[in-house]
Structure 1
Amino acid sequence: MGENSNAHAMAQAGFGNLIHNFDALGWIVFVTLSVMSLASWYFIVANAIRNSMVRSRAQKVIHAFWNTNNAQDAIREMEKQPKGEPFSKIALDCASAAAHHKNADGGQLAQTLNRSEFIDRALRQAVARESLRLEGGMTLLATVGSSAPFVGLLGTVWGIYGALIRIGASGNASMAAVAGPVGEALIMTAFGLFTAIPAVLAYNFFNRSNRLTYAQFDEFAHDLHDYFATGARVDAPTPTVK
């Protein structure tokens, strides 16, 4: 009889019973973890698609720029690229800055900043802007990865505390009375880990992927600066990042 009661108690320590026994704080923890999980998975999928597209097109865009006959053809080639493609936007900003400085030749702008300095400033702003776009969702992934286990632990501690209060009030400390509430509370810790682990892994993966892309931004920007500041054309770079 005792074994049957214990088995029945363990069978009751499920997710459905946990939700059924939620109080206000339990619901807050559960909803918070659910929102964290959905938001992190959204950015995981979105960043994976975006990074894959940027990395797959990077060398094609760079070669397309350098393999044109002149600067005007290169600019037209960059204008054909997709709206969210970062390398073409850096090149277009650089070309725009060079043209703007040329049109201001003899004016106050040209006297204040020489051509090289003006183009360098435009390139720094363009690289910073495109780098910031790659950072989308990274803060959230880091926050979820670091805080979700503790949010789940809060739910577990609160659930066990509530179970102990109920057990003390009823005076029944048998396995049948303890196993169900405690097992249900421990599910919150598992939920917190289930939310945090994908976010941590994704953050580390995207952080490394972004560093490689930033290196490509810098390399391309240096070549653009040399070209538009001095007029000396560089050869199409050999791919260095796989």
Structure 2
Amino acid sequence: MLIQTLAAAATTAAPQNKFGFVEALQAGGFIAYATVSILGIMSFGSFYILFTKFFEQQKIMRQGRDVGTSFWKAPSLRDGANKMDKNSAWRQLVDDGLAAEDQHGKMTDSMEAHDWLHGSLARSEASINARLAGGLPFLATVGATSPFIGLFGTVVGIYRALIAIGLAGSASIDKVAGPVGEALIMTALGLLVAVPAVLAYNWLQARNKRIAENLNGFSTDILANINSKGAVRPAAIAPAKSAAPAAAAPIKK
């Protein structure tokens, strides 16, 4: 009984924390809840785009590695395209190149086949790159605006601290600790949302550039193969020519 009484007395005497995160939101009211909600949505969207674009890039890179091992070993572009996934970006380039070749034969003007094929493949590359860049503007927007959204919460918190000082007539710590703490929390949340978004944007953008370079090289190989009627293939894939036997030295008599 004595122990319970002492424990209850210690609990009653212990100071209560009135300056936690939840308490700061409750003190901030609607503006604090709205600011945190907006930053939470931005953070969730940033990580969703990061993971979805990462897996999409990984799939394209894996399919690009298969191009060198299986596609160029096929006897023709059509046979090689049939070995690829239907939704592959690499197959899209092959299909668009073959379609452009078929369409050129139906033209009645004097447009060169090289120009028509090059334009068609460039248009196909642009559509793939645009699809890869989807979602990156959202990351850039989050990285640029979330600190200012947090700053808005900071300004509101400082304003509430000034009001508390004016009503109390003195800048006592118990009057300003809550609003100032709320202001600092909003600043930290804004930075916490912005930094991962900026890092994700730069990282995904760099990977997209590498994929675009590989797609451009593959497009050039397709253009050369079509224009040469299948004679030109990548140097690393082309079969090595057997060396001609050395001529026998004449026998001296």
Cα deviation digits, residues 31-89 of structure 1 (max 9, x gap): 221121111111011111111111122120344321101233123223xx142x21111
Report if the CA contact (8 A) 1:67-1:236 is conserved.
no
Question: Identity of aligned pairs, percent?
Answer: 33
| Count of residues paired in the alignment | 223
Q: Residue 190 of structure 1 corresponds to which residue in structure 2?
A: 188
Q: What SS does structure 2 have at the residue aligned with 1:21?
A: helix
Aligned-partner Cα distance in 2 for 1:76–1:132 = 25
1:74 and 2:73 equivalent? no
TM-score, structure 2 length as denominator?
Answer: 0.81
Other-structure match for 1:91: 94
Matches within 5 A, 1:146-225: 146-225=144-223
Which residue matches 1:114? 112
Aligned to 1:4: none
* Counterpart contact for 1:167–1:177, Cα < 8 Å: yes
Is the 8 Å Cα contact of residues 28 and 182 (structure 2) preserved in structure 1? no
Q: Distance in 2 between matches of 1:18 and 1:113?
A: 70
CA RMSD of aligned residues (A): 2.0
Cα drift, residue 142 of structure 1? 0.9
The residue type equivalent to 1:76 in the other structure is: N
1:134 equivalent to 2:132? Answer yes
Output one character per residue of 1:111-131: Cα deviation in whole Å (capped at 9) or x when no partner.
242211111111011000001
> What do residues 157-185 of structure 1 show as CA deviations (whole Å, max 9, x unaligned)?
11111122123123352112222221122
* Corresponding residue of 1:3: none
Per-residue Cα deviation, 1:167-218 (whole angstroms, up to 9, x for no partner): 3123352112222221122101111011011101111111111111111011
Matches within 5 A, 1:23-34: 23-34=29-40
What's the TM-score once normalised by structure 1's chain length?
Answer: 0.85
* Counterpart AA for 2:52: A
Query: Which ranges of structure 2 fall in alignment gaps of 5 or more residues?
Result: 1-13, 238-253
| 1:41 paired residue among 47, 62, 73 | 47
| Matched letter for residue 111 of structure 2 | L
Which amino acid in the other structure matches residue 12 of structure 1? Answer: K
Any idea what SS the aligned residue of 2:28 has? coil
SS at match of 1:67: coil
| Residues in 2 aligned to 1:174 and 1:205: alpha-carbon distance in whole angstroms | 47
1:60 aligns with 66
> Match for 2:62: what amino acid?
S
Q: Give the match for residue 245 of structure 2.
A: none
Q: Is the Cα–Cα contact under 8 Å of residues 77 and 94 in structure 2 kept in the other structure?
A: no
Higher helix share: 1
Q: Where do 5+ consecutive residues of structure 1 fail to align?
A: 1-6
Letter in 2 for 1:92: D
